[in-house]
Amino acid sequence: MRMQVKNLTRNSVVATAVEVADSGPKRSKGLLGRKGLAPGTGLWIVPCEAVHTFWMQFPIDLIYLDRGLRIRKLRSNVRPWRLSGCLAAHSVLELAPGAIRESQAMLGDKLEFSPLAADSGGNGQG
């Protein structure tokens, strides 16, 4: 399933096609094996309070969310071979570099996730 993510506080779009990693295997694999993320795409890992970028080939932006989908922590342009976590988080949104800046996301902002229509196809990532 793919989701669109909006920042309700800033009235901006955070991502247009986010995959959901809500099972053990999907969370474990994450973005490993990919060459990069296209603008507007990402991965929402639920539940999750920490990620690593070991063996990844590209940097990512990270948005940590609490159960109410409020932003608890932001990390921009996290390069490969790093660890990042937020004990107050319930999920993590992994995005293409620049997504935080472009959407003007800030701590405390409220996000909204909406399913994409099954026939929209996202943007060919995945």
pLDDT in tens, 33-74: 889 999 999 999 999 999 999 999 999 999 999 999 999 999
Identify the pLDDT of residue 118.
Answer: 64
Among 9-13, 29-33, 81-85, 88-92, the least confident range? 29-33
Residue 107 lies in a domain: yes
Q: What is the pTM of this model?
A: 0.89
pLDDT at 29: 84
- Specify the number of domains making up the chain: 1
Q: Is residue 126 part of a domain?
A: no
Q: How far is CA 111 from CA 10, 14, 56, 123, 124, in A?
A: 9, 9, 26, 21, 24
Q: What is the CATH number of the domain that holds 110?
A: 2.60.120.1140
Percentage of the residues of the chain whose pLDDT score is greater than 70:
93
Taking the C-alpha atoms of residue 43 and residue 41, their distance in angstroms, rounded to an integer, is 7
Neighbour tally for 2: CB within 10 Å = 22
- Residue 123's pLDDT band, with cuts at 50, 70 and 90, is very low
Judge whether 122 lies within some domain.
no
* Domain extent for 87: 2-115
| pLDDT at site 122 | 45
pLDDT-based confidence at residue 27 (cuts at 50, 70, 90)? confident
Decide if 95 is inside a domain. Answer: yes
Report whether 69 contacts 111 (CB < 8 A).
Answer: yes
